[in-house]
Homo-oligomer: A and B are copies of this chain.
Amino acid sequence: MSLQIIVPESRFPTGLPDFAADESGPFPGISPLQTYAKRLATEHHTVAAGAELGSFLGSEKRLFIVLDGWLFKHTILEDGRRQILDFLLPGDLITGLADTGHGLAQSIEAVTNASIAVIPMSAVSELSREVPSLAVLLLESAQDTLNTAYENLVDTGRRTSLEAVAHLLIRLEGRAIASLGADEKGAVPFPLIQEHIGDAIGLTAVHVCRTLRKLKTAGVIEMGRGWLRITDRQQLSDIAGLDDADTCGYRTPVHRMAS
């Protein structure tokens, strides 16, 4: 996860069922970066679904913000095995990908058509004089990203496939709600396919299929092309092994906490 900087009045990413969060969603907390994003951005890029964000990520002196669409950070091994490291939703920041000196250790691919804004680091440090809390926001964003990675690690290493899938769905749904909102029936946009889920928690698409089936036939979730609805949140939490107290999956975005 990354800092929820922007909460765009974005409609559902291209191509997928309507789903609009079109009503200019009421977004309570606007972060500094959001406020200045348009002013700071030097470039905007659009990326087609399935395309890689290669070339212009290289330079380390930039900061990227997802404006629209879903993407994911991943590593691919030589024989094609893929590990998804994080998903990126509108409002998320993309920072410092590791550069091993001979190419990036990780890369980013778009799930749906997506658009991202590029902010030069110079503009950020300039702005941070004006808005001192900016550095703190960036650090907290990095912290959120790290915590998400840790959650993924626990899912992948020490949870059963059922627990892991349930936990991942809870977390992604929370982020989708926060970023894009839900429709009147409680469904959220969810453009991931089973292979994405598997690659995020170390399972094959086939096994994800069987696991999702259990959740569906248990009446815990409903999924369709491009959307997800959690019909029995309590049971899903139980399956995921979360404490009751643990709303989890969705920490209040930084910009809301601050205000």
Contacts and interface: CB of A to CB of B under 8 A. Distances in A.
Interface stretch (A17-25, A64-72, A153-161, A213-221): A153-161
A102 interface: yes
Interface string A194-225: 00000111100000000000000000000000
A235 interface: no
A231 to B, nearest CB: 25
Interface in A119-144: 135, 138-140, 142-143
Contacts of A158: 77, 81-83, 199, 202
Interface string A150-176: 101110111100000000000000000
B147 A146 contact: no
Residue among A81, A154, A245 with the highest chain B CB neighbour number at 10 A? A154
Given A145-B146, A147-B105, A83 B139 contact: no
B202 A157 contact: yes
A153 B102 contact: no
A88 B117 CA distance: 36
A184 interface: no
B147 A102 contact: no
A50 interface: no
Nearest to A160: B81
A111 interface: no
A34 interface: no
Contacts of A149: 146, 149-150, 153
A146 B142 contact: yes
Given A77-B154, A158-B77, A202-B158, A245 B102 contact: yes
A16 interface: no
Contacts of A98: 143, 147, 150, 251
Contacts of A85: 150, 153-154
5 nearest A-B pairs in the assembled complex, by CB-CB distance = A157-B202, A149-B149, A83-B158, A156-B157, A81-B158
19 contacts: A81-B158, A81-B159, A83-B154, A83-B157, A83-B158, A95-B143, A96-B139, A96-B146, A98-B143, A98-B251, A100-B248, A100-B251, A101-B245, A105-B150, A135-B135, A138-B139, A153-B156, A157-B201, A158-B199
Interface of A: 75, 77-78, 81-83, 85, 95-96, 98, 100-102, 105-106, 135, 138-140, 142-143, 145-147, 149-150, 152-154, 156-159, 199-202, 241, 243, 245-246, 248, 251
